[in-house]
Amino acid sequence: MAQGKKYTDALKKYNRDGLHSPVEALELTKSIATATFDESIDVAIALGVDARKADQIVRGTVALPAGTGKTVRVAVFAKGDAAAAAKEAGADFVGAEDLVAEVEGGMLDFDLAIATPDMMPQVGKLGRALGPRGLMPNPKTGTVTPNAAKAVADFKGGTVEYRTDKHGNVQVSVGKVSFDVAGLKSNLGTLIDELNRVKPSAAKGRYIKKLTLSSTMGPGVKVDVTKLDELSAS
C-alpha cells in the first residue's frame, strides 16, 4: 500500500533497521509523529510463546500509571444496584436485557464491555457480535465482575487489556504523542513488568523477542530488547 508524503519523510529521519534504547525510541517516535491530531503511541511486542497452546496464551489487564489519554466508551450489562453504581461511575451505556437487545440490533458504539456474572447467560448470546471485535467480557481481563462500577473507573482511568494474537504478538497503546517521555516510559515499563510477571512457565528461550514502537500514522521504531532494564531505572 502506498504511503503518504509525511510517512515517507519520517522514514528519512532515522535508520529504520537500527535498534534504539527504549527512551531513545520513545523520543524518536514522538519526534516523527506529524499528524494534525494527537496520535497514540502503540507498542507491538513479539513474545516467545506458542499462542496456539492454551498454557502459553498471555492475557490480562494492567493499569498504566500515566493513563492512556484515550476516551474509553464503556457498556455495562448489569441490573439493579450494580447498574446504578456503574452509571454513576461513568459508564456510557448501562442495561440488562434491553442492552442485550440493542447490541443484537447492531448497536456497537463502545470500546469495552463489562458484565456482572448474573448477566453472562444473556451476554453469552452476543458472541457473534462481540467476539470478532474483542469485546466479549471475560473474567481473565476483569470485565466479568460483580463490582462493575470499579471496573468502569479502572478502565476509564488507564487500565488496558493485553492479549497475544495467534502469532504470539501483543499490541497495546501506551499513551499519546502529547505525553512527556517520562510518562510514556513509566507506562511502557509497567507493561513490560506485567508481561514478565505473567510469563507462562511453558515458554522457553527468549521471552520478549522483538519490540517496536510507532505512532498512529508513523513508521515503526525498533527497540533493543537487551536494554529494557532502562525502563526500570529512576
Q: Check pLDDT > 60 for residue 2.
A: no
pLDDT score, position 1? 40
In one-letter notation, the amino acid at residue 7 is Y
Number of other CB atoms surrounding residue 93 within 10 Å: 18
Could you give the dihedral angle defined by the CA atoms of residues 31, 36, 40 and 41, in that order, rounded to the nearest 10 degrees? -10
Give the pLDDT band of residue 3 (cuts 50, 70, 90): low
Chain centre distance of CA 208: 17
Predicted TM-score of the model (pTM): 0.82
pLDDT tens digit string along 161-211? 999 999 999 999 999 999 999 999 999 999 999 999 999 999 989 999 999
Of 123, 156, 189, the position where a domain reaches its end is: 156
Instruction: Please compute the mean of the pLDDT values over residues 119-146 and round it to a whole number.
Output: 94
pLDDT tens digit string along 25-53? 999 999 999 899 999 999 999 999 999 99
Q: Cα separation of 3 and 35, whole Å?
A: 14
E strand residue ranges, the chain: 40-47, 59-63, 74-77, 93-95, 112-115, 159-163, 169-176, 208-215, 221-222
In one-letter notation, the amino acid at residue 21 is S
**How many domains is the chain built from?**
2
Is there a single domain that holds both residue 113 and residue 183? Answer: no
CATH of the domain at 177: 3.30.190.20
* Three cell numbers written together for 221: 521504531
What is the chain's mean pLDDT, rounded?
A: 93
**Domain with 110 in it:** 74-156
